[in-house]
Amino acid sequence: MNNLNSKLFIVSIIIIMLILSLIFFNADEIAYIQKSLPITSVKTDKKVVAIACNVYEGSDQIKRMVKVLNKKNIKISFFLGGIWVKNNADCVKLLKNMGQDIQNHGYNHKLPSRISRERNIREIKDAEDIIYKISGVRTYLFEPPSGDYDENTISIVNSLNYKMITWSIDTIDWRKDATGELILERIRKKLHPGGIILIHPKQVTADNFERIINYIESQGYEIKSVPELLKEN
């Protein structure tokens, strides 16, 4: 009987160890997958979304949009291209002074999957450096140009202690045929809790910006910057 109990005890220990190893393996696997993919949205039941504005042009439109944001007391994220920052210091400082979130969109709008590892690193670091030099803001979120990335990009972003951001709601406002109605319709179709809405400082976007914000709020949503949205996860 004692021998039987001993064997059962040993078998039980082995089973428990196997279960624990599977649990930890799955946790590591999940963590790896999460770290290997860009953040497109966050999981939340709250009606909250973020707006990400990708910038390589449009200083005049940004100034118009900031007026609306100040009026509505809303903070969003501006992912800035380094070459634009270099040539538009006054607009960068305006964003900083108005409390808007400033993040990294690379330096020259190069597609990460088409350039070398070394060039990818320089794109992120050079943008980070010029943003810091002009605004005093140290970026930690990276939105790849055109949402383009591969395994190499993921490895680089992780090694630089950045988080990579893309989006779940694309307004496609950069196209020549974009209209206020089309932008709103694209938001209407995909608006969801935890979503990240992508916009650009185009004239059509600036012309309809307050209308866009009013619509989102009319659906019961709160608009935040991307870092604030990430806290909801």
Angstrom distance (rounded) from CA 63 to CA 173: 17
Give the up-direction half-sphere exposure of residue 87: CA atoms within 13 A in the CB hemisphere. 10
Per-domain boundaries in the chain: 1-36, 48-230
The more confident residue out of 48 and 6 is 48
The more confident residue out of 25 and 115 is 115
Element (H, E) at 154: helix 151-159
pLDDT of amino acid 32: 41
Place of tokens 């969801």: 192
Q: Looking at residues 196-206, what average pLDDT do you find?
A: 98
The predicted model scores a pTM of 0.85
Q: For domain 48-230, is the CATH number 3.20.20.370?
A: yes
The closest of 55, 69, 68 to 105, measured between CA atoms, is 55
pLDDT of amino acid 27: 46
Q: Looking at residues 129-139, what average pLDDT do you find?
A: 98
The DSSP code for 114 is G
Identity of the residue numbered 226: V
The closest of 32, 40, 95, 86 to 67, measured between CA atoms, is 95
Q: pLDDT band for 207, please (50, 70, 90 cuts).
A: very high
pLDDT of amino acid 37: 83
Cα of first residue to Cα of last residue in the chain, in angstroms, is 53
pLDDT of amino acid 134: 98
Q: For residue 170, is pLDDT > 80?
A: yes
